[in-house]
Amino acid sequence: MNPAEIISTVPPALVFLAGAMLLPVLGARLRPLVFVAMPVLALLMIANLEPGTTAGIVFMNLELVVLRADSLSLAFGYVFCLISFFGGWYAWHLKEKGQQVAALIYAGSALGAVFAGDLFTLFVFWELMLVGSAYLVWAGRTRFSAGAGMRYIIVHLAGGSFLLAGILWHFSLTGSIEFAHLAGAPSWLILIGFAVNAAVVPLHAWLPDAYPESSVTGSVFLSAFTTKVAIYTLIRGFEGLDILVWVGAVMAVYGAVYAFMQNDIRRVLAYGIISQLGFMVAAVGIGSALAINGAVAHAFSHILYKGLLFMCAGAVLFATGRSKLTELGGLSRSMPLVFVLYMIGAVSISGFPLFSGFVSKSMEIYAAEAGHYTFVFLLLQLASAGTFLYTGLKLPYFMFFGQDKSLPVKPLPKGMYAGMGLAALSCIVIGIFPQMLYRILPFQSNYQPYSSAHLWETASILLFTGLVFWLMLDKIKPAPLVTLDFDWFYRRPAGLAYRVFVAMPARVFTRADNVLMRLTGWLSDIAANPVGFIVWHAARLKSRIRNTTAPAAEPAVFDPDRYRGSLGMMVTVVMAGFIIIALFSLVD
Amino acid sequence: MKRIPVIVSLVLLVIFIIADLWFHLTHGDGWWAGIPGFFALFAGLGCLVIIAAAGLLGRRWLLRKEDYYESGRDN
């Protein structure tokens, strides 16, 4: 085999994981350079992969396929490398080894998961993603990070358990661990595992709980990988499953309404992810070639513009130390460049012509129409309007305009601008040259986004969404509040669970401890001074019965002079001993 | 509600409906294809519904103080 062939059997994930091992021994100035070099290296390897390449290893009598390159996994591979590269620039200023290593592990395991050809390899990378991402949540170090990270881990471990149970059941029934289209009873368990990571309502609450509490740079990576790997696995395993159409449509609107209620800017964007994932989940459920192409294209452009939006929100948080709409305002004057870059992300997600959302999201919407899902089509259009309303109008209005709070602004590192600029550029390039994106989609497509009907429809929706916002502006006021969501079911009873499982056992143990300590005290008193103990307690009992005053003090310490037997008694005992011995010797 | 946005919105809506009647721009397989200016109306009403729903749900039910989940704890 020549070197190129050998390289084409190495999973690209290994590049990231090797980088993660290398980083800790490097100096602080070299680390960001190595960080951005890893995605470039992996991207070159992926570009070198022919569709249809597979590579496997045998482990415990199982043939594991650690690399399966086809058009579907390659498309996700490309975009994961791109966002890691942009994120690496954005995080150039970061001095913290832990976050850099965690981000590389996270990105690497996401790549590993999309290139996994069997269910066991998928599961290993699936859980490895959790390790990297949980660290990024904790790295936020806000008042709420610790709890949010712990809930994040618990929810994902639960989802992972469903996944593993389903995989084992599937394996025992079919004897195959190939990751292809799944059906039958075990597939429902696997579907639950996937649905947790895809933030399918009502299993979604971990996402808006954890992402807003993560670090400024960490949220960029978080917004990209976990949920999109889940979309990939849903396409691979559950393409055409009808229930997903409806679930997705509900998610799209649910996310939009919730996003509109939020006060924390990164929580608005987090609910925006759920809304956007709804489009993709619905498209997976429709399952036609146009729909699957749409889901992949939307995932691709979504990773880039949502990454950009999280970068800009992070930049605002970095510069001002604030992330609440109620505390922000008037930043367009002090952060004009961030405002422009944010708006590029916002018009991309809203589907403005010449930006990436226009050429990707519309495929899913038309797939719903072509599949005669009329109501779903309308729900998705409504969610589109809602997306523009909260990301393109409400958020920038209260962040960059609104009441000027004259906040002091810390200058941003140059790397942040580089990351945001590159991500913004990618949104525009995809919007202007959609064929670049369409070429890497799983199915051949002659979809034309720039048709008169589509332009007209988009113009109508966006313009009238803007008009309604203008109309209702004095009715829309952010408030310093949080919303209840499905996490209520495990967060609110947490107090009760704490009382039942922590406080109550603790109290029982304390009681038992006290009783034991008192018993031990008595025992040691008896051992130290048996006569005194008995005499004193007898005296106390007597005084109680006769109802007289209790004896003065407890004879706690043994006093040998007080209880020593008389000399005569001792001599008698010794003499008796001698007599007995003498008697025995006589008997002999 | 201010007067200018209302007037601007209504004027634009009429323009969109007339333009649609003239050029037949709204396409599609569904029943909406025959309604001129459908997507303008749909987006306008849809956004009003989203704003109203978010406002009502929030005020009546879902919005809580920021320390809501912390207040229930013993420690």
Answer whether residue A218 is part of any domain: no
What is the structure's pLDDT at A56? 82
Is the Cβ pair B58, A475 closer than 8 Å? Answer: no
Q: Among B27, B66, B73, whose Cβ lies nearest the Cβ of A481?
A: B66
**A146 in reach of chain B (CB within 8 A):** no
Strands A62-68 and A54-59: antiparallel
Using alpha carbons, list the distances in angstroms from residue A268 to A116, A278, A484: 33, 16, 14
- Tell me the residues of chain A between 470 and 499 that have a Cβ less than 8 Å away from chain B: 470-472, 474-476, 479-485, 491-492, 494-495, 498-499
Q: Which residues of A touch B20 (CB under 8 A)?
A: 456
pLDDT digits (tens, 9 = 90+) for A282-321: 999 999 999 999 999 999 999 999 999 999 999 999 999 9
- Asked if A445 and A559 sit in the same domain, the reply is no
- Asked if A74 and A41 sit in the same domain, the reply is yes
Of A84, A48, A168, nearest in space to A119 by CA? A168
pTM for the whole thing?
A: 0.88
For chain A, what is the domain count? 3
- Asked if A157 and A276 sit in the same domain, the reply is no
Scanning every residue of chain A, which has its alpha carbon at the shortest distance from the alpha carbon of B41?
A: A464
Q: Which residues of A touch B57 (CB under 8 A)?
A: 257, 261
- Asked if A155 and A72 sit in the same domain, the reply is yes
- Tell me the residues of chain B between 11 and 70 that have a Cβ less than 8 Å away from chain A: 12-13, 16, 20, 25-31, 37-44, 46-51, 53-55, 57-58, 61-66, 68-69
Q: Which residues of B touch A448 (CB under 8 A)?
A: none
Spans of chain A below 50 pLDDT: none
Instruction: Pick the last residue of a domain from A193, A212, A231.
Output: A212
Q: Which residues of A293-330 are buried (b: 16+ CB within 10 A; e: fewer)?
A: bbbbbbbbbbbbbbbbbbbbbbbbbbbbebbbbbebbb
Answer whether residue A373 is part of any domain: yes
- Asked if A110 and A257 sit in the same domain, the reply is no
Confidence class of residue B74 from pLDDT cuts 50, 70 and 90? very low
What is the structure's pLDDT at A558? 62
Chain A with chain B: Cβ pairs closer than 8 A: 142
- Read off the tokens for A484: 């209840």
Answer whether residue A325 is part of any domain: yes
Please give the Cα distance from A73 to A81 (Å, whole number). 12
pLDDT digits (tens, 9 = 90+) for A524-568: 888 877 877 888 888 888 888 888 776 666 655 666 666 666 788
Q: Among A257, A374, A482, whose Cβ lies nearest the Cβ of B66?
A: A482
Query: Between vectors from CA A122 to CA A250 and to CA A50, what angle results, nearest 5°?
Result: 100
Q: Which residues of A touch B18 (CB under 8 A)?
A: none
Answer whether residue A113 is part of any domain: yes
Residue A180 CB-density burial (10 A; 0-12 exposed, 13-18 middle, 19+ buried): exposed
- Asked if A521 and A435 sit in the same domain, the reply is no
- Asked if A86 and A196 sit in the same domain, the reply is yes
Answer whether residue A291 is part of any domain: yes
- Asked if A255 and A365 sit in the same domain, the reply is yes
What is the structure's pLDDT at A327? 94
Reply yes or no on whether the pLDDT at B47 is more than 70.
yes
- Asked if A264 and A397 sit in the same domain, the reply is yes
Residue B75 CB-density burial (10 A; 0-12 exposed, 13-18 middle, 19+ buried): exposed
Reply yes or no on whether the pLDDT at B75 is more than 50.
no
Answer whether residue A489 is part of any domain: no
Domain spans of chain B, in order of start: 3-71
What is the structure's pLDDT at A313? 97
Domain that holds residue A177: 1-212
